[in-house]
Chain A
Amino acid sequence: SINRPPQNPPPRPPAEMRRKRA
C-alpha cells in the first residue's frame, strides 16, 4: 500500500540544520 512507510531510517538533517541545532 502507498501508506507503507519506508523501512530504512530517514536521512539526517542537512548539515546546516544540524549546526543550527547544536
Chain B
Amino acid sequence: APIILDSYRVIADYRKTSKYEIDLCTGDLVEIVEKKPNGWWFCQCEPKRGWAPASYLEPLDGPEESEEADPDYAGELYITTKAYSAALDDELTLEEGETIEVIHKLLDGWWVVRKGEETGHFPSMFLNRTGEKK
C-alpha cells in the first residue's frame, strides 16, 4: 500500500545551517518522512529532501497539539548530556550531568524542564532519560 505522508505548511523562512538540512520558504508545503523527538524532521519538498526544524512547520489539517503529549507536572527524570546556555529568557541554562524533571515534551524539541524552583525550555537533544519516576 502507498505510504501517506503528513503534510505541513512552512510558517517562516529558514536558511539551512548544514548540508543535510533544507531551506524553507514561508507557505511551502512539505511532506514529513520522519519526526525525531529532538525537533528535527526529515522532509521532502520536491525535489529537495533533508532535515528541517519542526518549529517552522504547522500541520495542514488540525492543530499539532493533538500529536503532542500533555504536560506531566509530576515530572520525569532526565540527565543533561551537554551543557547549554539560555539564549532566550524562557530557556534554562544547565551544565552537563544535571538531573532535571521534564514536564512537557514539545514537538519542536525544546522541552519544558524544571530544576528546583526554575522552569524553562531546554533542547531535548541534550537530555537522557534516567528511567526513574519522581
Asked if B101 is at the interface of the complex by the 8 Å CB criterion, the answer is: no
For the complex, give the distance between the alpha carbons of A7 and B16 in Å.
13
What are the residues of chain A within 8 A of B87 when measuring CB–CB? 12
What are the residues of chain B within 8 A of A11 when measuring CB–CB? 14, 53, 55-56
**Count of residues in B whose CB is under 8 Å from the partner chain:** 32
Name the residue in A8, A10, A18 with the highest tally of chain B Cβ atoms < 10 Å from its Cβ. Answer: A10
Known: A7-B125, A12-B55, A13-B55. 18 other contacts (CB 8 A): A2-B20, A3-B42, A6-B17, A6-B20, A9-B39, A9-B123, A9-B126, A10-B39, A10-B40, A10-B54, A10-B109, A10-B110, A11-B14, A12-B108, A12-B110, A13-B108, A14-B56, A17-B12
A-side residues, CB < 8 A to B, are 2-14, 17-18
